[in-house]
Amino acid sequence: MTSSQQPPPRNILALDTAHSLVAACLLTGSDVYHAGAGAEKPRSISLASTLTSLLEKAGLQWHDLDAFAFGCGPGSFTGLRIGAATLAGLNSGLNRPMLHISSLAITAAQADTSDAITVIEDARAGEAFIACHQAGKALRPDRCLPWQEVAAMPSAAYASHTEPAIDLPAWQRLPLQLSRDQALARTVGHAAGQITDWQALPRYPQPAYLQPSQAERNAHV
């Protein structure tokens, strides 16, 4: 396999917009730069300046990037699409590998613990996005569950951006120790280390919605 003999990418630009904040980072092999933007401006506006500031800090041009990493969700549908469309636009003409990172894995990394942790993020429509992680590894695939099923899960330590929609009495909520852009850098660094064949990665970012639209849901009732 010639493709697996390619050197691993040096410069990786990563972006996560699954929540109301923009989290971005740039890994250059020797350095890690990160940047975040708050909710004062719409994501679609703050993104450009956030990403260009990262490149400026690292002294790089767009064509110096060797790969992209996309916080692919699950999360805000619109947020995911703004992130994905932006990365697709940046990658137009560059055609670099697109590493897909679970946005729930980033939340798990924010809790900064080596113990097993469940991530519970509100998915609206009476549902929650659920992930289980330990030491940077997903213990099972991300899921979308009704809150009743979450309540029936064995209690554990969990991390979340919002108050859960139901009472989780025996559960222990861990604080988010790391900023999202710091956690993004850590998650991307970890995931990048696991990739053996970068050329096999997709070129176009694809959100993991894990939830159909309301119209599709109604049609199936």
Binding range to another protein, per CB under 8 A, among 29-37, 82-90, 99-107, 151-159: 82-90
Q: Which is nearer to another protein, 88 or 157 (CB)?
A: 88
Tokens 């309540």 correspond to 151
CA distance 75 to 189: 21
84 is a contact residue toward another protein (CB under 8 A): yes
Rounded Cα distance, 121 and 210, in Å: 12
From candidates 93, 169, 175, 193, binder to another protein by CB under 8 A:
93
- Residue 85 as a binder of another protein (CB under 8 A): the answer is yes
User: Please, which residue, 58 or 174, has the CB nearer to another protein?
Assistant: 58
Burial track 117-138 (b if 16+ CB lie within 10 A, e otherwise): bbbbbbbeeebbbbbbbeebee
Question: Could you give the CA distance from residue 39 to residue 146 in angstroms, rounded to a whole number?
Answer: 28
CA-based radius of gyration for the chain: 18
Q: Which stretch binds another protein (CB under 8 A): 1-9, 78-86, 136-144, 146-154?
A: 78-86
**Interacting residues with another protein (CB under 8 A):** 42, 44-45, 47-48, 51-52, 62, 77-78, 81-82, 84-94, 204, 206-207, 209, 213-216, 219
